[in-house]
Amino acid sequence: MSYFEYLAEFGPRFVDGTIITALQTVLAAVLAIFIAFVAGLMRMSPNPLIRGIATVYIEIFRGTSLLVQLYWIFFVLPLFGITLEKFTAGFVAVGMNLGAYGAELVRGGILSVPRGQWEAALALNMSPTKRMIRIIFPQALLNMLPPWGNLLIELLKGTALVSLISVSDLMFEAKQINSTTFLSIQAFGTALVIYYVMARFAITPFMRWLERFMSRKLGRA
Amino acid sequence: MSEDMSAYPLRLEGDDVPMVRFMNVTKSYGALVVLDSLDLDVAAGEMVSVIGPSGSGKTTVLRMLMTLETINGGVIYVDGQPLTHMEKNGVLVPASEKHLRKMRADIGMCFQHFNLFPHMTAVENCMEAPVHVLGLSKKEARERSLELLQMVGLEDKVDQHPSRLSGGQQQRVAIARALAMRPKVMLFDEVTSALDPEVIGEVTNVIRELVDKHNLTMLMVTHQMGFAKEISDRVCFFFGGKIEEQGSPDELFGNPQKERTQQFLSAVMEAG
Protein backbone atom coordinates (compact mmCIF):
# COMPACT_ATOMS: atom_id res chain seq x y z
CA MET A 1 0.00 0.00 0.00
CA SER A 2 1.51 3.34 -1.02
CA TYR A 3 1.38 6.24 1.42
CA PHE A 4 -1.06 7.91 -0.97
CA GLU A 5 -3.43 4.96 -0.70
CA TYR A 6 -2.86 4.90 3.03
CA LEU A 7 -3.91 8.52 3.30
CA ALA A 8 -6.90 7.97 1.04
CA GLU A 9 -8.10 5.26 3.39
CA PHE A 10 -7.20 6.71 6.79
CA GLY A 11 -6.96 10.42 6.02
CA PRO A 12 -10.49 11.21 7.19
CA ARG A 13 -9.78 9.62 10.57
CA PHE A 14 -6.58 11.65 10.95
CA VAL A 15 -8.63 14.73 10.11
CA ASP A 16 -11.25 13.82 12.73
CA GLY A 17 -8.51 13.25 15.30
CA THR A 18 -6.84 16.53 14.40
CA ILE A 19 -10.11 18.39 14.90
CA ILE A 20 -10.52 16.86 18.36
CA THR A 21 -6.89 17.73 19.21
CA ALA A 22 -7.45 21.30 18.05
CA LEU A 23 -10.64 21.53 20.14
CA GLN A 24 -8.87 20.10 23.19
CA THR A 25 -6.04 22.59 22.67
CA VAL A 26 -8.30 25.62 22.35
CA LEU A 27 -10.51 24.68 25.32
CA ALA A 28 -7.53 23.76 27.50
CA ALA A 29 -5.80 27.01 26.50
CA VAL A 30 -8.83 29.10 27.44
CA LEU A 31 -9.00 27.34 30.81
CA ALA A 32 -5.23 27.59 31.34
CA ILE A 33 -5.21 31.32 30.59
CA PHE A 34 -8.13 31.90 32.95
CA ILE A 35 -6.52 29.87 35.75
CA ALA A 36 -3.13 31.48 35.13
CA PHE A 37 -4.49 34.99 35.58
CA VAL A 38 -6.56 34.15 38.64
CA ALA A 39 -3.81 32.14 40.35
CA GLY A 40 -1.07 34.56 39.24
CA LEU A 41 -2.91 37.53 40.76
CA MET A 42 -3.76 35.53 43.88
CA ARG A 43 -0.06 34.80 44.31
CA MET A 44 0.54 38.56 44.58
CA SER A 45 -2.24 39.19 47.08
CA PRO A 46 -1.28 40.80 50.39
CA ASN A 47 -3.62 38.30 52.08
CA PRO A 48 -1.58 35.23 53.13
CA LEU A 49 -4.55 32.87 52.87
CA ILE A 50 -5.31 33.83 49.27
CA ARG A 51 -1.61 33.65 48.45
CA GLY A 52 -1.38 30.26 50.16
CA ILE A 53 -4.25 28.75 48.20
CA ALA A 54 -2.65 29.79 44.92
CA THR A 55 0.76 28.53 46.00
CA VAL A 56 -0.63 25.11 46.96
CA TYR A 57 -2.47 24.87 43.65
CA ILE A 58 0.62 25.77 41.65
CA GLU A 59 2.84 23.42 43.63
CA ILE A 60 0.49 20.45 43.20
CA PHE A 61 -0.13 20.92 39.50
CA ARG A 62 3.46 21.73 38.61
CA GLY A 63 4.97 19.19 40.94
CA THR A 64 3.07 16.11 39.79
CA SER A 65 2.67 14.36 36.45
CA LEU A 66 0.05 15.55 34.00
CA LEU A 67 -0.86 11.93 33.28
CA VAL A 68 -1.48 11.21 36.96
CA GLN A 69 -3.59 14.37 37.20
CA LEU A 70 -5.58 13.25 34.16
CA TYR A 71 -6.23 9.84 35.74
CA TRP A 72 -7.24 11.49 38.99
CA ILE A 73 -9.74 13.72 37.25
CA PHE A 74 -11.16 10.89 35.12
CA PHE A 75 -10.91 7.83 37.39
CA VAL A 76 -10.67 9.09 40.97
CA LEU A 77 -12.98 12.10 41.10
CA PRO A 78 -16.05 9.91 40.24
CA LEU A 79 -15.40 8.06 43.52
CA PHE A 80 -16.04 11.42 45.22
CA GLY A 81 -19.18 11.97 43.19
CA ILE A 82 -17.68 14.23 40.52
CA THR A 83 -18.02 12.53 37.16
CA LEU A 84 -16.70 14.26 34.07
CA GLU A 85 -17.25 13.09 30.53
CA LYS A 86 -13.90 11.95 29.04
CA PHE A 87 -13.68 14.82 26.56
CA THR A 88 -14.23 17.33 29.38
CA ALA A 89 -11.88 15.52 31.77
CA GLY A 90 -9.21 15.69 29.05
CA PHE A 91 -9.08 19.42 28.47
CA VAL A 92 -9.77 20.21 32.14
CA ALA A 93 -6.68 18.22 33.20
CA VAL A 94 -4.46 19.78 30.55
CA GLY A 95 -5.81 23.28 31.25
CA MET A 96 -5.41 22.98 35.01
CA ASN A 97 -1.86 21.69 34.63
CA LEU A 98 -0.65 24.30 32.17
CA GLY A 99 -2.57 27.00 34.04
CA ALA A 100 -0.30 26.38 37.02
CA TYR A 101 2.76 27.07 34.83
CA GLY A 102 1.00 30.08 33.31
CA ALA A 103 0.32 31.54 36.76
CA GLU A 104 4.05 31.99 37.22
CA LEU A 105 4.28 33.69 33.83
CA VAL A 106 1.52 36.10 34.81
CA ARG A 107 3.23 36.86 38.11
CA GLY A 108 6.59 37.27 36.40
CA GLY A 109 5.07 39.52 33.74
CA ILE A 110 3.52 41.80 36.33
CA LEU A 111 6.75 41.93 38.36
CA SER A 112 8.68 42.78 35.20
CA VAL A 113 6.90 46.14 34.92
CA PRO A 114 9.25 48.71 36.45
CA ARG A 115 8.40 49.94 39.92
CA GLY A 116 8.36 53.49 38.62
CA GLN A 117 5.18 52.72 36.68
CA TRP A 118 3.35 51.83 39.89
CA GLU A 119 4.72 54.92 41.56
CA ALA A 120 3.76 57.26 38.73
CA ALA A 121 0.22 55.82 38.71
CA LEU A 122 -0.02 56.24 42.47
CA ALA A 123 1.30 59.80 42.26
CA LEU A 124 -1.56 60.49 39.83
CA ASN A 125 -3.89 59.19 42.54
CA MET A 126 -5.16 56.22 40.53
CA SER A 127 -6.96 53.53 42.53
CA PRO A 128 -5.19 50.18 42.98
CA THR A 129 -7.57 48.53 40.49
CA LYS A 130 -7.07 51.24 37.86
CA ARG A 131 -3.31 51.08 38.36
CA MET A 132 -3.38 47.38 37.65
CA ILE A 133 -5.84 47.37 34.74
CA ARG A 134 -4.82 50.54 32.92
CA ILE A 135 -1.10 50.84 33.60
CA ILE A 136 0.49 47.57 34.70
CA PHE A 137 -1.50 44.94 32.84
CA PRO A 138 -1.04 46.20 29.28
CA GLN A 139 2.72 46.31 29.79
CA ALA A 140 2.86 42.99 31.64
CA LEU A 141 0.86 41.31 28.90
CA LEU A 142 3.37 42.28 26.23
CA ASN A 143 6.28 41.11 28.40
CA MET A 144 4.72 37.70 28.99
CA LEU A 145 3.67 36.91 25.42
CA PRO A 146 6.87 35.15 24.27
CA PRO A 147 6.86 32.61 27.14
CA TRP A 148 3.14 32.08 26.59
CA GLY A 149 3.94 30.98 23.03
CA ASN A 150 6.14 28.22 24.43
CA LEU A 151 3.54 27.26 26.97
CA LEU A 152 0.80 26.91 24.35
CA ILE A 153 3.01 24.57 22.32
CA GLU A 154 3.60 22.51 25.48
CA LEU A 155 -0.13 22.50 25.97
CA LEU A 156 -0.83 21.25 22.44
CA LYS A 157 1.65 18.41 22.91
CA GLY A 158 0.23 17.68 26.35
CA THR A 159 -3.21 17.02 24.87
CA ALA A 160 -1.83 13.80 23.33
CA LEU A 161 -2.19 12.25 26.79
CA VAL A 162 -5.99 12.48 26.61
CA SER A 163 -5.85 9.55 24.17
CA LEU A 164 -5.08 7.43 27.24
CA ILE A 165 -8.59 8.01 28.57
CA SER A 166 -9.98 7.22 25.08
CA VAL A 167 -10.69 10.72 23.87
CA SER A 168 -10.55 10.19 20.12
CA ASP A 169 -7.90 12.81 19.43
CA LEU A 170 -5.11 12.63 16.86
CA MET A 171 -2.95 10.34 18.99
CA PHE A 172 -5.89 8.03 19.71
CA GLU A 173 -6.70 7.71 16.02
CA ALA A 174 -3.06 7.05 15.16
CA LYS A 175 -2.90 4.26 17.72
CA GLN A 176 -6.17 2.73 16.49
CA ILE A 177 -5.07 2.82 12.88
CA ASN A 178 -1.72 1.33 13.84
CA SER A 179 -3.31 -1.54 15.71
CA THR A 180 -5.35 -2.58 12.65
CA THR A 181 -2.71 -1.98 9.94
CA PHE A 182 0.58 -2.39 11.84
CA LEU A 183 1.98 0.34 9.59
CA SER A 184 3.65 2.09 12.51
CA ILE A 185 5.83 4.46 10.48
CA GLN A 186 2.83 5.77 8.55
CA ALA A 187 0.57 6.01 11.61
CA PHE A 188 2.93 7.73 14.02
CA GLY A 189 4.85 9.56 11.29
CA THR A 190 1.64 11.20 10.13
CA ALA A 191 0.69 12.12 13.70
CA LEU A 192 4.16 13.54 14.31
CA VAL A 193 4.01 15.76 11.24
CA ILE A 194 0.49 17.00 12.08
CA TYR A 195 1.51 17.96 15.64
CA TYR A 196 4.55 19.75 14.29
CA VAL A 197 2.55 21.61 11.67
CA MET A 198 -0.01 22.68 14.26
CA ALA A 199 2.70 24.03 16.56
CA ARG A 200 4.93 25.54 13.92
CA PHE A 201 2.43 26.87 11.43
CA ALA A 202 -0.55 27.71 13.64
CA ILE A 203 0.47 28.54 17.21
CA THR A 204 3.84 30.16 16.49
CA PRO A 205 2.62 32.52 13.73
CA PHE A 206 -0.44 33.37 15.80
CA MET A 207 1.72 34.34 18.79
CA ARG A 208 4.08 36.33 16.57
CA TRP A 209 1.13 38.19 15.13
CA LEU A 210 -0.25 38.84 18.60
CA GLU A 211 3.12 40.20 19.76
CA ARG A 212 3.35 42.51 16.76
CA PHE A 213 -0.26 43.59 17.24
CA MET A 214 0.27 44.33 20.92
CA SER A 215 3.59 46.11 20.35
CA ARG A 216 1.93 48.38 17.83
CA LYS A 217 -0.92 49.04 20.20
CA LEU A 218 1.53 49.87 22.97
CA GLY A 219 3.57 52.12 20.73
CA ARG A 220 6.72 50.04 20.82
CA ALA A 221 6.88 48.95 17.22
CA MET B 1 5.40 52.72 67.61
CA SER B 2 3.28 53.72 70.61
CA GLU B 3 3.78 57.41 69.96
CA ASP B 4 1.56 59.80 71.94
CA MET B 5 -0.56 61.25 69.14
CA SER B 6 -2.22 63.83 71.42
CA ALA B 7 0.86 66.00 70.95
CA TYR B 8 -0.20 66.60 67.33
CA PRO B 9 -3.06 68.92 66.38
CA LEU B 10 -5.99 67.38 64.46
CA ARG B 11 -5.60 70.13 61.89
CA LEU B 12 -3.63 73.31 61.53
CA GLU B 13 -5.57 76.53 61.96
CA GLY B 14 -4.78 80.20 61.91
CA ASP B 15 -3.70 82.85 59.44
CA ASP B 16 -0.38 81.43 58.38
CA VAL B 17 -1.06 77.73 57.97
CA PRO B 18 1.76 76.33 55.83
CA MET B 19 0.92 74.38 52.68
CA VAL B 20 3.14 71.55 53.91
CA ARG B 21 4.26 70.83 57.44
CA PHE B 22 6.51 67.97 58.50
CA MET B 23 6.15 67.66 62.26
CA ASN B 24 8.69 65.50 64.06
CA VAL B 25 8.72 63.05 61.13
CA THR B 26 10.88 59.98 61.45
CA LYS B 27 11.57 57.35 58.81
CA SER B 28 13.70 54.30 59.29
CA TYR B 29 14.37 51.00 57.58
CA GLY B 30 15.06 48.62 60.43
CA ALA B 31 17.96 50.09 62.35
CA LEU B 32 18.82 52.57 59.59
CA VAL B 33 17.31 55.97 60.38
CA VAL B 34 16.75 57.84 57.13
CA LEU B 35 15.01 60.87 58.58
CA ASP B 36 15.36 61.85 62.18
CA SER B 37 12.60 63.99 63.75
CA LEU B 38 12.23 66.24 60.72
CA ASP B 39 10.44 69.57 61.13
CA LEU B 40 9.90 71.47 57.91
CA ASP B 41 7.29 74.00 56.82
CA VAL B 42 6.68 75.05 53.25
CA ALA B 43 4.50 78.11 52.78
CA ALA B 44 1.85 78.32 50.06
CA GLY B 45 3.48 79.44 46.83
CA GLU B 46 6.96 78.86 48.14
CA MET B 47 9.70 77.14 46.13
CA VAL B 48 11.99 75.15 48.39
CA SER B 49 15.06 73.32 47.10
CA VAL B 50 16.47 70.37 48.94
CA ILE B 51 20.17 69.67 48.49
CA GLY B 52 22.59 67.35 50.19
CA PRO B 53 24.82 64.32 49.69
CA SER B 54 23.24 61.03 48.58
CA GLY B 55 21.85 59.08 51.50
CA SER B 56 20.98 62.26 53.38
CA GLY B 57 17.26 61.52 53.14
CA LYS B 58 16.33 64.29 50.73
CA THR B 59 14.49 62.11 48.20
CA THR B 60 12.72 60.35 51.08
CA VAL B 61 11.20 63.70 52.06
CA LEU B 62 9.43 63.92 48.70
CA ARG B 63 8.47 60.26 48.63
CA MET B 64 6.84 60.48 52.06
CA LEU B 65 4.91 63.54 50.99
CA MET B 66 3.71 61.68 47.88
CA THR B 67 2.75 58.76 50.19
CA LEU B 68 5.09 56.45 48.30
CA GLU B 69 6.70 55.75 51.67
CA THR B 70 5.05 55.37 55.02
CA ILE B 71 6.48 57.18 58.03
CA ASN B 72 7.49 55.71 61.37
CA GLY B 73 6.79 58.71 63.55
CA GLY B 74 5.38 62.22 63.47
CA VAL B 75 2.71 63.70 61.22
CA ILE B 76 2.75 65.37 57.81
CA TYR B 77 0.11 68.04 57.14
CA VAL B 78 -0.92 69.32 53.73
CA ASP B 79 -2.95 72.51 53.52
CA GLY B 80 -3.70 72.22 57.23
CA GLN B 81 -5.06 68.68 57.06
CA PRO B 82 -3.14 65.65 58.27
CA LEU B 83 -1.87 63.59 55.33
CA THR B 84 -0.31 60.57 56.98
CA HIS B 85 -3.04 60.39 59.60
CA MET B 86 -6.74 61.05 59.97
CA GLU B 87 -9.03 61.98 62.79
CA LYS B 88 -10.94 59.21 64.49
CA ASN B 89 -12.84 59.85 67.73
CA GLY B 90 -10.83 62.97 68.37
CA VAL B 91 -7.37 61.45 67.93
CA LEU B 92 -5.07 60.97 64.96
CA VAL B 93 -4.80 57.43 63.65
CA PRO B 94 -2.82 56.21 60.60
CA ALA B 95 -4.53 57.24 57.37
CA SER B 96 -6.75 54.78 55.54
CA GLU B 97 -6.35 54.24 51.79
CA LYS B 98 -9.51 56.30 51.32
CA HIS B 99 -8.06 59.23 53.27
CA LEU B 100 -4.79 58.99 51.35
CA ARG B 101 -6.65 59.09 48.06
CA LYS B 102 -8.48 62.24 49.11
CA MET B 103 -5.29 63.95 50.27
CA ARG B 104 -3.10 62.85 47.34
CA ALA B 105 -5.29 64.86 44.99
CA ASP B 106 -3.41 67.99 46.13
CA ILE B 107 0.04 66.63 45.37
CA GLY B 108 1.82 65.99 42.09
CA MET B 109 5.25 64.54 41.50
CA CYS B 110 7.85 64.29 38.74
CA PHE B 111 10.48 61.59 38.88
CA GLN B 112 14.12 61.30 37.92
CA HIS B 113 13.32 58.67 35.29
CA PHE B 114 10.10 60.33 34.07
CA ASN B 115 8.02 57.13 34.47
CA LEU B 116 5.77 57.98 31.54
CA PHE B 117 3.34 55.26 30.56
CA PRO B 118 5.01 53.70 27.48
CA HIS B 119 1.76 52.37 26.03
CA MET B 120 0.20 55.81 25.77
CA THR B 121 1.00 58.84 23.63
CA ALA B 122 2.06 62.12 25.22
CA VAL B 123 -1.47 63.47 25.31
CA GLU B 124 -2.89 60.14 26.51
CA ASN B 125 -0.38 60.17 29.36
CA CYS B 126 -1.71 63.57 30.39
CA MET B 127 -5.38 62.60 29.94
CA GLU B 128 -5.20 59.30 31.80
CA ALA B 129 -5.67 60.50 35.36
CA PRO B 130 -8.02 63.42 34.62
CA VAL B 131 -10.34 60.95 32.87
CA HIS B 132 -9.94 57.93 35.15
CA VAL B 133 -9.43 59.65 38.50
CA LEU B 134 -11.16 63.02 38.25
CA GLY B 135 -13.89 61.76 35.95
CA LEU B 136 -13.45 64.46 33.30
CA SER B 137 -14.87 63.82 29.86
CA LYS B 138 -12.28 62.86 27.26
CA LYS B 139 -12.90 66.14 25.46
CA GLU B 140 -12.28 68.23 28.58
CA ALA B 141 -9.23 66.19 29.55
CA ARG B 142 -7.81 66.48 26.06
CA GLU B 143 -8.25 70.24 25.99
CA ARG B 144 -6.61 70.58 29.38
CA SER B 145 -3.75 68.29 28.32
CA LEU B 146 -3.15 70.05 25.00
CA GLU B 147 -2.97 73.37 26.79
CA LEU B 148 -0.35 72.01 29.19
CA LEU B 149 1.64 70.31 26.44
CA GLN B 150 1.67 73.63 24.63
CA MET B 151 2.89 75.34 27.78
CA VAL B 152 5.85 72.93 27.98
CA GLY B 153 6.53 73.47 24.28
CA LEU B 154 5.47 70.07 22.97
CA GLU B 155 2.39 70.91 20.91
CA ASP B 156 3.95 69.13 17.93
CA LYS B 157 4.60 65.91 19.89
CA VAL B 158 1.17 65.25 21.41
CA ASP B 159 0.55 62.02 19.49
CA GLN B 160 4.03 60.53 19.98
CA HIS B 161 4.71 57.65 22.29
CA PRO B 162 7.41 58.23 24.94
CA SER B 163 9.83 55.92 23.09
CA ARG B 164 9.91 58.50 20.28
CA LEU B 165 10.75 61.40 22.60
CA SER B 166 14.07 62.60 23.97
CA GLY B 167 14.69 62.59 27.72
CA GLY B 168 14.04 66.31 27.98
CA GLN B 169 10.80 65.97 26.05
CA GLN B 170 9.70 63.02 28.18
CA GLN B 171 10.34 64.96 31.37
CA ARG B 172 8.31 67.88 30.03
CA VAL B 173 5.42 65.52 29.26
CA ALA B 174 5.74 64.19 32.82
CA ILE B 175 5.47 67.72 34.19
CA ALA B 176 2.38 68.38 32.04
CA ARG B 177 0.90 65.06 33.19
CA ALA B 178 1.32 65.97 36.85
CA LEU B 179 -0.06 69.50 36.31
CA ALA B 180 -3.13 68.11 34.55
CA MET B 181 -4.34 66.99 37.97
CA ARG B 182 -4.18 70.62 39.20
CA PRO B 183 -2.14 69.88 42.31
CA LYS B 184 -1.47 72.52 44.96
CA VAL B 185 1.96 71.08 45.70
CA MET B 186 4.45 69.92 43.07
CA LEU B 187 7.38 67.69 43.89
CA PHE B 188 10.42 67.47 41.62
CA ASP B 189 12.72 64.57 42.43
CA GLU B 190 16.04 65.10 40.64
CA VAL B 191 14.15 65.74 37.42
CA THR B 192 17.27 66.70 35.48
CA SER B 193 19.66 64.06 36.82
CA ALA B 194 18.96 61.53 34.08
CA LEU B 195 19.13 64.06 31.26
CA ASP B 196 21.87 64.84 28.79
CA PRO B 197 23.45 68.21 29.63
CA GLU B 198 22.19 69.89 26.46
CA VAL B 199 18.51 69.22 27.23
CA ILE B 200 18.54 70.16 30.93
CA GLY B 201 17.70 73.73 29.98
CA GLU B 202 14.39 72.84 28.35
CA VAL B 203 13.21 71.26 31.61
CA THR B 204 14.53 73.96 33.93
CA ASN B 205 12.89 76.58 31.69
CA VAL B 206 9.53 74.92 32.28
CA ILE B 207 10.06 74.88 36.05
CA ARG B 208 11.21 78.51 35.91
CA GLU B 209 7.98 79.41 34.15
CA LEU B 210 5.94 77.59 36.80
CA VAL B 211 7.68 79.58 39.50
CA ASP B 212 7.15 82.87 37.68
CA LYS B 213 3.58 82.49 36.53
CA HIS B 214 1.81 80.00 38.77
CA ASN B 215 1.04 80.02 42.43
CA LEU B 216 2.23 76.48 43.06
CA THR B 217 3.98 75.29 46.16
CA MET B 218 7.07 73.41 45.07
CA LEU B 219 9.63 71.16 46.64
CA MET B 220 12.60 70.27 44.48
CA VAL B 221 15.41 67.83 45.16
CA THR B 222 18.27 68.77 42.90
CA HIS B 223 21.99 68.53 42.27
CA GLN B 224 22.00 71.66 40.15
CA MET B 225 23.19 74.27 42.58
CA GLY B 226 23.06 77.11 40.07
CA PHE B 227 19.43 76.43 39.27
CA ALA B 228 18.51 76.02 42.94
CA LYS B 229 20.19 79.31 43.75
CA GLU B 230 18.42 81.09 40.93
CA ILE B 231 14.82 80.05 41.48
CA SER B 232 14.40 78.98 45.11
CA ASP B 233 12.84 81.03 47.85
CA ARG B 234 14.63 78.85 50.35
CA VAL B 235 17.26 76.11 50.24
CA CYS B 236 17.53 73.26 52.76
CA PHE B 237 20.78 71.39 53.13
CA PHE B 238 20.19 67.85 54.36
CA PHE B 239 22.81 65.80 56.11
CA GLY B 240 22.37 62.49 57.91
CA GLY B 241 18.57 62.59 57.93
CA LYS B 242 18.33 66.11 59.33
CA ILE B 243 18.23 69.63 58.00
CA GLU B 244 21.75 70.74 58.75
CA GLU B 245 21.21 74.26 57.54
CA GLN B 246 18.56 76.25 55.68
CA GLY B 247 18.12 79.77 54.45
CA SER B 248 17.65 81.99 51.43
CA PRO B 249 19.78 80.99 48.43
CA ASP B 250 22.00 84.00 48.98
CA GLU B 251 22.60 83.08 52.62
CA LEU B 252 23.10 79.38 52.10
CA PHE B 253 25.26 79.53 49.00
CA GLY B 254 26.93 82.87 49.77
CA ASN B 255 27.64 82.50 53.43
CA PRO B 256 27.09 78.98 54.74
CA GLN B 257 27.42 78.82 58.54
CA LYS B 258 27.90 75.10 59.18
CA GLU B 259 31.09 73.27 58.39
CA ARG B 260 29.32 70.39 56.64
CA THR B 261 27.46 72.80 54.40
CA GLN B 262 30.71 74.50 53.47
CA GLN B 263 32.39 71.16 52.75
CA PHE B 264 29.48 69.93 50.64
CA LEU B 265 29.21 73.15 48.65
CA SER B 266 32.91 73.40 47.97
CA ALA B 267 33.00 69.75 46.88
CA VAL B 268 30.04 70.29 44.54
CA MET B 269 31.45 73.54 43.13
CA GLU B 270 34.79 71.89 42.46
CA ALA B 271 33.07 69.09 40.57
CA GLY B 272 31.57 71.84 38.44
Residues B147-181: pLDDT tens digits? Answer: 999 999 999 999 999 999 999 999 999 999 999 99
Local confidence band at A220 (pLDDT 50, 70, 90 cut-offs)? low
Task: Check whether B69 has a pLDDT greater than 80.
Answer: yes
pLDDT of residue B159: 95
pLDDT of residue A217: 77
Inter-chain contact A219–B119, Cβ cutoff 8 Å?
Answer: yes
The pLDDT > 90 percentage for chain B reads: 86
> What value does the mean pLDDT of chain B take?
93
Inter-chain contact A120–B121, Cβ cutoff 8 Å?
Answer: no
pLDDT of residue A214: 87
Q: Which residue of B118, B162, B181 is in closest CB contact with A124? A: B181
Task: Check whether B1 has a pLDDT greater than 60.
Answer: no
Domains, chain B, ranges and CATH?
A: 5-106+186-271 (3.40.50.300), 116-182 (no CATH)
Beta-carbon contacts of A70 under 8 Å, excluding residues fewer than 6 positions away, are A89, A90, A93, A94, A161, A162, A164, A165
Inter-chain contact B133–A139, Cβ cutoff 8 Å?
Answer: no
Computed over its alpha carbons, how large is the radius of gyration of chain B?
19
| CB contact residues (below 8 A), chain B span 198-237, against chain A | none
pLDDT of residue A1: 76
Residues B70-90: pLDDT tens digits? Answer: 999 999 999 999 999 999 988
Give how many domains chain A has, as a whole number: 1
* Average pLDDT estimate for B109-135: 96
pLDDT of residue B7: 86
pTM of the model: 0.86
Task: Check whether A218 has a pLDDT greater than 80.
Answer: no
Inter-chain contact B118–A122, Cβ cutoff 8 Å?
Answer: no
Task: Check whether A25 has a pLDDT greater than 90.
Answer: yes
B161 near A CB under 8 A: yes
Local confidence band at A160 (pLDDT 50, 70, 90 cut-offs)? very high
* Average pLDDT estimate for B129-151: 96
Residues B201-233: pLDDT tens digits? Answer: 999 999 999 998 888 999 999 999 999 999 999
DSSP B152: T
d(CA A166, CA A11): 20
B115–chain A nearest CA distance, Å: 6
Inter-chain contact B128–A124, Cβ cutoff 8 Å?
Answer: yes
Q: Domain range for residue A146?
A: 3-217
Task: Check whether A221 has a pLDDT greater than 60.
Answer: no
d(CA A109, CA A150): 15
Alpha-carbon torsion (A19, A24, A27, A32), positive or negative: negative
Output phi, psi for A89, to 5 deg: -55, -35
Inter-chain contact A219–B161, Cβ cutoff 8 Å?
Answer: yes
Residues A176-214: pLDDT tens digits? Answer: 999 999 999 999 999 999 999 999 999 999 999 999 998
Domain of residue A10, CATH code: 1.10.3720.10
pLDDT of residue B14: 86
Residue numbers in A near B163 (CB within 8 A): 219-220
Residues A81-91: pLDDT tens digits? Answer: 999 999 999 99
Mutate to test the interface with A, among B101, B132, B175 (most CBs of A within 10 A): B132
Inter-chain contact A220–B107, Cβ cutoff 8 Å?
Answer: no
Beta-strand ranges (E) seen in B69-112 are 73-78, 81-82, 85-88, 91-94, 107-110
The pLDDT > 70 percentage for chain A reads: 99
Task: Check whether B18 has a pLDDT greater than 80.
Answer: yes
A118–chain B nearest CA distance, Å: 9
For residue A105, the surrounding DSSP H or E stretch is helix A86-111
Distances (CA, A) of A76 to A31, A83, B234: 21, 9, 75
